[in-house]
Amino acid sequence: MPPYAYYSGYGGYILWMLPIILLSALASWAVNANYAKYSKVASRRGFTAAQVAELILRANGIHDVSVTHVSGTMTDHYHPQQKYIGLSDGVYNSTSIAALGIAAHEAGHAVQYSVGYGPIRFRGSLLPVANFASKFSWILIFVGFLLSDMVALAGILLFGVTVLFQLVTLPVEFNASRRAVAVLENGYLDSDEMVGAKKVLRAAAMTYVVALLTSLWQMMRYILILFGNRSRR
């Protein structure tokens, strides 16, 4: 029996996705567990997350990016077009180890844009195409599996753009975390506090790894189904 004959079936789909489902659950648990633990541990030096973000920006000569409060939990982000770092309810005014790690990470993204970090520029150029691909690749794949292998192939190739976007996201996120660690070690957190900050940042980074693996797994399954359809026609 050829591989696609099994993995394109429902039972094969469950087996195919089971490792990713488990990894995704583990990554989500690690993020929530580490955030819950270290968001309750106040840093000794008393800086708030908003202050840390502001100080990192100014230390890098960035004066056109603001630090603002955004609602929600773990909704922290950097918006390069609107030039602001958004820190969530549990982060903005917090002095916790977790909050400082998150703020420094988001400030790291602002620094990446300021210094012209290659991967984040490339990711930015991919973003409009990736947004289009995430919305319409599924339609092409579904219609193609029903009507035309060429349409399905076009959908799979378009889906590949979202995979590429996720792949480029990895060095962007890991680099922002490395920048955050380097800054926090230099006057914001003591060495024992850095253990918690690193755990929070590593757990968050793993969610991007799992997202990429999920998309790669899904893309491979589409390819196997396409081969299966061609062999039956």
Active-site annotation, residues: 106
- Going 125 to 174 to 194 to 204, the CA torsion angle's sign is positive
Sheet holding 77-79, edge to edge: 66-69, 84-87, 77-79
Q: Which amino acid is at 24?
A: S
For residue 48, which of 211, 233, 188, 181 has the smallest C-alpha distance?
188
DSSP secondary structure code for residue 42 in this structure: B
- Using the structure block, give the residue that is written with the tokens 């968001």: 39
85 in helix, strand or coil?
strand
